[in-house]
Amino acid sequence: MNIYECLNKITKYIDEHLEENISYERLARFLGVNTYTLIRTFYVLTDIPLKEYIRRRRLSDAALDLYNEQVTVKEVALKYQYKNESTFIKEFEKFHGIKPKKVTPDTRINIYPRLRFNEEEKVSIKLHYEIVDMKELTFYGICIEAMEKNIFMFSPTFSKQIEKQYGTIPYGMISYNEKKEDIDKYYCLFEEEIPHFEKIKIPASKWLRIRISSQEVEKIKEVRNEFYKEILFLAYYQLRDLPELIHFHDEVTDYLIAID
């Protein structure tokens, strides 16, 4: 079984349980990982946060219910796990561009289909990596916020602005927001203290280190995505809830991700 077969099992399970409370712990078992690893992997490989994917599938099916059946808005809201009707109405209108009470047989609704993956796509380990133990690290950093899928788009411009004022940046860091799965922070980190910069302590951990013979952002992004497709699943690593580190040195890049 490869990661795409597992992702198909996840999206199939979600579709079969849209009317229930969907447990992330249950979904994580399809990958054999913890929930944090599930959330990160799903987003990197699909370009949509897991929470948002479930929301879109529910709103899509909710519109079909209103279109095909004699049901009230409140009944549909409760069916798809909304705690109150007003929240459902607001999200429905934002997604479909129309209030749920206005849905008629002539209404154009926004159908978001179940994600399906090509299970024939070959996945094999091509990346070279090593596992290293690192003591607690202390950095001083400044950050920008961006959607996860755009984080590498904005980081080069941001880094150049910081370099002009503070010199060569030895580390980058991607920090994830668990409450807003689609928003991340990219930090420029320095080992020496800089006034007004945030002090950041990274606890001692075991890290998986991939050395990249480039400091180009597109190459780093490519290797990062390959990690989630190859090493994480095939080697059965569990991610720790720690930021990813990017160490720039000697014209190479070390991509570091904390593991249990």
Above 80 in pLDDT, residue 94?
yes
Query: Average of pLDDT values for 60-65?
Result: 94
Task: Tell me: pLDDT of 32 over 60.
Answer: yes
User: What is the number of H-type helices and E-type strands within the chain?
Assistant: 9, 8
Between 70 and 197, name the one with better pLDDT: 197
Q: What is the pLDDT of residue 162?
A: 94
Q: What DSSP assignment string belongs to 82-126?
A: -SSHHHHHHHHHHHHSS-GGG--TT------PPP---TTS-----
Q: What is the mean pLDDT of residues 74-85?
A: 95
Q: Tell me the average pLDDT across 88-103.
A: 95
Contact partners, residue 126, CB within 8 Å, separation at least 6: 226, 230
**Does the pLDDT value for residue 206 go beyond 90?**
yes
Topology of domain 3-102, CATH: Arc Repressor Mutant, subunit A (1.10.10)
User: Can you give the pTM of this predicted structure?
Assistant: 0.79
C-alpha to C-alpha distance for 256 and 185, rounded to whole angstroms: 16
Q: State mean pLDDT over 46-71.
A: 92
Amino acid at residue number 79: K
pLDDT single digits (tens) 130-150: 999 999 999 999 999 877 667
More reliable by pLDDT, 196 or 154: 196
Domain map (residue ranges) of the chain:
3-102, 129-259
What's the pLDDT at 232? 66
The predicted structure's pLDDT at residue 234 = 61
Confidence of residue 233 (pLDDT cuts 50, 70, 90): low
* Protein fold of 129-259: Multidrug-efflux Transporter 1 Regulator Bmrr; Chain A (3.20.80)
Please give the mean pLDDT across all residues of the chain.
89
Asked whether 27 and 38 are in contact (CB, 8 A), the reply is: yes
pLDDT of residue 151: 77
Identical fold for domains 3-102 and 129-259, yes or no, is no
Q: Does 181 have pLDDT greater than 90?
A: no
